[in-house]
């Protein structure tokens, strides 16, 4: 766990939380990506105990509430994000359990407890993938489901300029990098698809499904025009990697 990078990211998220309020929560998995209505990865979550890793403003947990999950738990690095989530979910019964903490450590979450753990566009913020996946495995009941989405490993390595796609970084390069789309320093982690898969396997997960599809509906195109995730680039490269796995 890199405490220096965590401190930088926490400060950045505390300042930028409002900018990302309600951005791409479930049923969305990410910009220009298929939704849960299309993929049906979670299935029926009624009476399920769910944990959101990197819960942000709480909108994915609110989606779970609407679909009758029995318990809602969340963890996020940012104090501002947790505050926003508490406000959004203040009327939930039973009350939502939220923790302000890095995902690399267990802040007091129960072991072998959850039916479903998920992370929507948050796992790539971890400074220690193995540590994080080890904790997620411990939180789940045997046979429990872990689903995550994150920016596709190819997307950031390729530039789209003047109708050309140009690799500006080797696919083999992994580790932390400063993201250019932010106005202040933030550090995300870059891994190959095989790194995610092998880390899941090492930490006791079986892979059920991998999704690299895109969704280019008129609404998607309108929402993401001239942004980091653009329609033009998504025609050639997936924006999002989605993996469904389960605890052995």
Q: What is the mean pLDDT of each run of 10 residues along the chain (248 residues)?
A: 86 82 90 95 98 97 97 97 96 94 97 98 95 98 98 92 88 88 82 98 98 88 71 91 98
How far apart CA 91 and CA 86 sit, in angstroms, is 9
Please report, for the domain that includes residue 148, its CATH number.
3.40.50.150
Q: In this structure, is residue 222 part of a structural domain?
A: no
Q: In this structure, is residue 236 part of a structural domain?
A: no
Q: What is the pTM of this model?
A: 0.94
Range of the domain at 97: 3-18+44-155+172-215+241-247
Q: In this structure, is residue 55 part of a structural domain?
A: yes
Q: In this structure, is residue 234 part of a structural domain?
A: no
The angle formed by the CA atoms of residues 40, 42 and 47, to the nearest 5 degrees, is 130
Q: In this structure, is residue 127 part of a structural domain?
A: yes
Question: In total, how many domains does the chain have?
Answer: 1
Q: In this structure, is residue 114 part of a structural domain?
A: yes
Q: In this structure, is residue 161 part of a structural domain?
A: no
Q: What is the pLDDT of residue 226?
A: 55
Q: What is the pLDDT of residue 225?
A: 60
Q: What is the pLDDT of residue 153?
A: 95
Task: Give 177-227 as a 3 state SS string.
Answer: EECCCCCCCCEEEECCHHHHHHHHHHCCEEEEEEECCCCCCHHHHHHHCCC
Q: In this structure, is residue 129 part of a structural domain?
A: yes
């Amino acid at each position: 766990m890199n405490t220096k990078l965590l401190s930088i990211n926490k400060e950045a998220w505390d300042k930028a939380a409002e900018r990302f309020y309600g951005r791409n929560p479930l049923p969305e998995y990410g910009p220009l990506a298929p939704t849960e209505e299309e993929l049906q990865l979670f299935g029926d979550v009624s009476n399920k105990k769910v944990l959101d890793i990197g819960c942000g403003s709480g909108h994915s947990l609110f989606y779970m509430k609407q679909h009758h999950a029995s318990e809602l738990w969340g963890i996020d690095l940012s104090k501002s994000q947790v505050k926003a989530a508490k406000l959004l979910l203040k009327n939930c019964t039973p009350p939502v359990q939220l923790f302000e903490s890095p995902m690399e450590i267990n802040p007091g979450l129960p072991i072998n407890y959850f039916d479903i753990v998920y992370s929507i566009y948050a796992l790539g913020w971890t400074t220690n993938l193995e540590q994080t996946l080890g904790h997620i495995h411990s939180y789940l009941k045997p046979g429990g489901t872990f689903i995550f989405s994150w920016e596709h490993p190819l997307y950031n390595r390729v530039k789209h300029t003047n109708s050309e796609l140009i690799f500006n970084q080797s696919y083999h390069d992994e580790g932390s990098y400063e993201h250019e789309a932010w106005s202040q320093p933030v550090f995300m982690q870059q891994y190959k698809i095989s790194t995610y898969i092998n880390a899941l396997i090492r930490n006791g997960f079986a892979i059920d499904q991998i999704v690299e599809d895109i969704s280019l509906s008129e609404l998607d195109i309108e929402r993401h025009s001239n942004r980091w995730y653009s329609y033009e680039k998504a025609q050639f490269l997936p924006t999002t990697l989605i993996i469904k796995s389960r605890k052995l």
